[in-house]
Amino acid sequence: MKNKNVLITGASRGIGKAIAEEFAKAGANVAFTYLSSVEKGTALETELSAFGTKIKGYRSDASDYTAAEELINQVVADFGSIEVLINNAGITKDTLLMRMSEEQWDDVLRINLKSIFNLTKAATKPMMRAKTGSIINISSVVGLMGNAGQANYAASKAGMIGFSKSIAKELGSRNIRCNVVAPGFIETEMTGELNEEQLKEWTKSIPLKRAGQGKDIADACLFLGSDNSAYITGQVLVVDGGMLM
């Protein structure tokens, strides 16, 4: 990854932050986005700069079509190119379907799914000119198996898989790859709100008997962003400790 230019959305915390850290450690130049977590975004820029590569954070809304296009143009202007795009920005608004509002459905689909359309479409322009690129979309095992109370989230993550496979077919002839990483139960600030009993119930269903870490997802992204995966496209890499077996 040395000297490759990488853009990661939603990187101020959780999985996105772990991905940004591992890419910077590996020698990549890292551009990343944040939206509401301004202080965390600024702090991450300072933290990652210690690895000695070019680092820059951008406050940008991935679900806004115009903002996404402006972001890509700015990153290309600042870094010169984008070799790897990692679409990680996402939210949950969980509730049973009978209680789900139209707003809860629309918000999750807009932020989780429309954002990858926005960023991918904009990023393919400079990637096509360079005739190289790796696009990695962070989905979820919920997009493969569904989950009660997460119809909106599951739909967005399943849609991401279909989108990625289509893009892989469209852009393969231009040497642009598109793959999906589907995390299982990963310890983040969000899962930190669960109590000890809930954590035990989750880990019971995982063959490796532990929750995943952000680094587990970051390592998968490093592989798919590197030349070690040069002949891999249109695939879903499930990182879940065996939960879906």
Q: Is 153 a catalytic residue?
A: yes
pLDDT value of residue 205: 86
**Confidence band (pLDDT; 50, 70, 90) for 245?**
confident
Which domains can be identified in the chain, with CATH numbers? 5-239 (3.40.50.720)
pLDDT value of residue 158: 98
Interval 46-63 mean pLDDT:
96
User: CA 71, CA 96: separation in Å to the nearest integer?
Assistant: 35
pLDDT surpasses 80 at 198: no
- Cβ burial 110-144 (10 Å sphere, 16+ → b, else e): bbbbbbbbbbbebbbebbeebebbbbbbbbbbbbb
pLDDT surpasses 70 at 191: no
Tell me which of 34, 58, 65, 153 is the catalytic residue.
153
Mean pLDDT value across the chain: 94
pLDDT value of residue 37: 80
Interval 58-63 mean pLDDT:
96
For residue 112, what is the DSSP state?
I
Interval 100-111 mean pLDDT:
97
Which residues, 6+ apart, have CB-to-CB distance to 153 below 8 Å? 92, 93, 94, 108, 112, 140, 142, 147
pLDDT surpasses 80 at 192: no
- Tell me the per-residue pLDDT of 111-147, one tens digit each, with 9 for 90 and over: 999 999 999 999 999 999 999 999 999 999 999 999 9
Length of the chain: 245
